[in-house]
A and B are shown apart, each in its own frame.
Chain A
Amino acid sequence: MTTATGRTPVVRAHRVRKNFGRLEVLRGVDLDVFPGEVVVIIGRSGSGKSTFLRCINHLEKIDGGLLYVNGQLIGYREKADRIYELREREVAEKRAEIGMVFQQFNLFSHMTVMRNLTEAPMRVRRLPKAQAVERAYRLLDRVGLRDKAAAYPAQLSGGQQQRVAIARALAMEPSLMLFDEPTSALDPELVGDVLEVMKGLAADGMTMVVVTHEVGFAREVGDRVIVMDEGVIIEEGVPEQVLSAPKNPTTREFLARVLTPTGSVGATSDVLPEYTVKGDPGT
């Protein structure tokens, strides 16, 4: 399982394939993500990047290839040269170690912010309430939303909801965080707060796989940028090289579209905007 560098990858994808009916969404994706690494996946919509992310925590079942997280096969168990499907309980246990942040936040709308953060630690990890609440407050401090503990998601702005969603994922103390276009559903002025939280996470050494259109974030925070197109990785490398001097013509075309202000994806400039975190106790 270890590679030439001697480190065990947190994620190891080997020729991962996924079909939706007759449509081949992933056509053999190979990727290693190492501890503490921030891998940013970019690509056109429909390129399979979100699907690949969802395969990593088995929200989508892969149809071919092998996918390991922390050295363990996702969704299956290897025993004596045979592969067994995991039971639902075992899948859930593995998912608990992988945090996921969604484009549409997906906070539990019937629960207060506090219960959103304590529900899984208490039910899945059997954490005592006092500890779960203490952990929740610590995470809310971290995302600058301690004063919203009793609010319901509908009473928060999109940016606040997404920061709560990040805190909710962190409450499970995951070893890997997956971000599925975390800022795509946000008003432009709210994007900065969310990216700031993600930057902080990266600085603390969290292993992250981020699907995003925020080229500025990829450049500043990403250790590696992956470009996907039609279900395969077409380009890969350090952000500076991939974003400034892409070799693949499709990458070049994609970046040109994302980087122009009139681009269809609500593009940002290639210069990282100045972030301000409101209510961040650290500032």
Chain B
Amino acid sequence: MSTPDAPNLAPESNADRIVAVPVRHYGRWLGGAAVLLLLLDLGFAVARNKNFKFGLVPHYLFDPVILTGLKTTLELTVIAMAVAIGLGVIAAVFRLSPNPVLKATSGTYIWFFRGTPVLVQLIFWFNLGIIFPRIRLGIPFTDLTLWSAPTNDAIRPLTAAILGLGLNEGAYVAEIVRAGIISVGKGQTDAAAALGMRRSAVMRRVVLPQAVPVVIPPMGNEFIGMLKYSALASVIAVEELLGSVERIYSTNLRTLELLVVASIWYLACTTALTIGQHYLERYVGRSRATPQATAGWRIWTLRRAAH
């Protein structure tokens, strides 16, 4: 029937579907089996370990001390990140400003806070009271004081943690925002300028909103990173998630069980953040998406236009 040249395809009725015997990947099966065996062995090693009390994990998961620590971790993350985003946006705009003083200030800030370990910065803020016993808010170089307080009262461990984490993170956020600003094409600023918009308005109304979708994915990373870095605050006596866990295992010595408890909460939070980031990206990306990708959105906007 078939000539030597013609490929030997399936019968006529099936002509549009190729029915072929798949290649057997023996190597893949072997590799998979080996890895599965190793994982099983590891699992048994943990599960059969008499020194590890699994029962303690669910017992401590909702312990009030740990839940309070979790709340502190979340607060610390959100507030430090808010500080970082505020500082970062300002630093990024300064860095791209034509004013050499603003540019240099921002450059130095980024250089310093990105170049020193965040742990060092945390301990620094915690001990600030040693060199500045009082904090004063007033007019520089005058005796006018609006507000003042002893440093150790004003900068409690949590404040020190917020300052340390926020200032450090701000330097990273600044670079992310700067990248976002640069990613907005010159055509956009040209068009806005040609319409008579002033530079500040161009930045606020045209450039920054378009930088947002670019900035969201790396910013999500930073947020997740901050959630984990916040554990460093336990070093300066902030009882966040790790600190609360430490408090418990320092008395009952169930160190690993409690670290598992903490890890479960950290994983739960980072998972929630990842999901949140996904939806946020979808939301801010709607105007740049292709028509095919947002068919539903398009129908909606067209329907809205019809009204």
Please list the residues of chain A having a beta carbon within 8 angstroms of any beta carbon in chain B: 57, 59, 88-89, 92-100, 102, 104, 106-112, 119-120, 123-124, 147-155, 165, 168-169, 172
Whether a CB of chain A sits under 8 angstroms from the CB of B53 is no
Task: State the Cβ distance, B294 to closest chain A Cβ, in Å.
Answer: 8
Task: State the Cβ distance, B131 to closest chain A Cβ, in Å.
Answer: 42
With both beta carbons as reference points, the residue of chain A lying nearest to B211 in the complex is identified as A110
Contacts of B251 in A (CB 8 A): none
Task: State the Cβ distance, B189 to closest chain A Cβ, in Å.
Answer: 9
Contacts of B190 in A (CB 8 A): 59, 100, 102, 106
A109 with B287: CB separation less than 8 A: yes
**How does the 8 Å CB contact mask read for B145-177 relative to A, with 1 for contact and 0 for none?**
000000000000000000000000000000000
Whether a CB of chain A sits under 8 angstroms from the CB of B50 is no
A-B contact count (CB 8 A): 97
Known: A110-B287, A111-B287, A155-B291. A172 touches B209 (CB 8 A): no
Task: State the Cβ distance, B28 to closest chain A Cβ, in Å.
Answer: 42
Checking B195, B210, B290 against A120 with a beta-carbon cut-off of 8 angstroms, the contacting residue is: B195
- Given A106-B187, A147-B305, A152-B288, output 18 extra A-B contacts at Cβ < 8 Å: A88-B199, A100-B191, A100-B194, A106-B190, A106-B191, A107-B191, A108-B192, A110-B209, A119-B195, A124-B195, A124-B197, A149-B305, A150-B302, A150-B304, A154-B288, A154-B289, A154-B290, A155-B301
Known: A109-B210, A110-B209, A110-B287. A169 touches B302 (CB 8 A): no
Contacts of A59 in B (CB 8 A): 190, 193-194
Task: State the Cβ distance, A173 to closest chain B Cβ, in Å.
Answer: 11
Contacts of B195 in A (CB 8 A): 95-96, 119-120, 124, 168-169, 172
Known: A88-B199, A120-B196, A150-B302. A109 touches B191 (CB 8 A): no
Known: A59-B194, A106-B188. A152 touches B301 (CB 8 A): yes
B188 with A92: CB separation less than 8 A: no
Whether a CB of chain A sits under 8 angstroms from the CB of B298 is yes
Q: CA A150 – CA B304 in complex, angstroms? A: 7
Enumerate B193-241 residues with CB–CB distance to A below 8 Å: 193-199, 201, 205-206, 209-210
Please list the residues of chain B having a beta carbon within 8 angstroms of any beta carbon in chain A: 185, 187-188, 190-199, 201, 205-206, 209-210, 286-291, 294, 298, 301-302, 304-306
Task: State the Cβ distance, A211 to closest chain B Cβ, in Å.
Answer: 14
Contacts of B185 in A (CB 8 A): 106
Nearest 6 Cβ contacts at the A-B interface: A96-B196, A106-B191, A120-B195, A150-B305, A106-B187, A100-B194
B298 with A155: CB separation less than 8 A: yes
Q: CA A93 – CA B197 in complex, angstroms? A: 8
B187 with A98: CB separation less than 8 A: no
B188 with A108: CB separation less than 8 A: yes
Q: CA A155 – CA B289 in complex, angstroms? A: 8
Task: State the Cβ distance, B14 to closest chain A Cβ, in Å.
Answer: 41
Q: CA A123 – CA B192 in complex, angstroms? A: 11
Q: List 30 A-B contacts (CB under 8 A).
A: A92-B193, A92-B196, A95-B193, A95-B194, A96-B195, A96-B196, A97-B196, A100-B190, A100-B194, A102-B191, A104-B187, A106-B185, A106-B191, A107-B191, A109-B210, A109-B287, A111-B287, A112-B287, A112-B301, A120-B196, A123-B201, A149-B305, A150-B301, A151-B302, A152-B288, A154-B287, A155-B298, A155-B301, A165-B191, A169-B194
Contacts of A149 in B (CB 8 A): 305
Q: CA A98 – CA B304 in complex, angstroms? A: 32
Contacts of A154 in B (CB 8 A): 287-291
With both beta carbons as reference points, the residue of chain B lying nearest to A97 in the complex is identified as B196
Checking A57, A104, A107, A150 against B194 with a beta-carbon cut-off of 8 angstroms, the contacting residue is: A57
With both beta carbons as reference points, the residue of chain B lying nearest to A171 in the complex is identified as B195
Q: CA A59 – CA B205 in complex, angstroms? A: 19
Contacts of A151 in B (CB 8 A): 298, 301-302, 305
Contacts of B305 in A (CB 8 A): 147-151
Task: State the Cβ distance, A120 to closest chain B Cβ, in Å.
Answer: 4
Contacts of B289 in A (CB 8 A): 154
Checking B191, B194, B287 against A152 with a beta-carbon cut-off of 8 angstroms, the contacting residue is: B287
With both beta carbons as reference points, the residue of chain B lying nearest to A119 in the complex is identified as B205
With both beta carbons as reference points, the residue of chain B lying nearest to A114 in the complex is identified as B305
Q: CA A127 – CA B98 in complex, angstroms? A: 31
Contacts of A119 in B (CB 8 A): 195, 205
A102 with B198: CB separation less than 8 A: no
Q: CA A151 – CA B288 in complex, angstroms? A: 11
**Max chain A Cβ within 10 angstroms of own Cβ: one of B192, B294, B302, B304:** B192
With both beta carbons as reference points, the residue of chain A lying nearest to B206 in the complex is identified as A108
Contacts of A111 in B (CB 8 A): 287
Q: CA A92 – CA B196 in complex, angstroms? A: 4
Q: CA A147 – CA B198 in complex, angstroms? A: 31
Contacts of B206 in A (CB 8 A): 108
Contacts of A110 in B (CB 8 A): 209-210, 287-288
B301 with A124: CB separation less than 8 A: no
**Max chain B Cβ within 10 angstroms of own Cβ: one of A106, A107, A147, A165:** A106
With both beta carbons as reference points, the residue of chain A lying nearest to B204 in the complex is identified as A123
B298 with A92: CB separation less than 8 A: no
Contacts of A153 in B (CB 8 A): 287
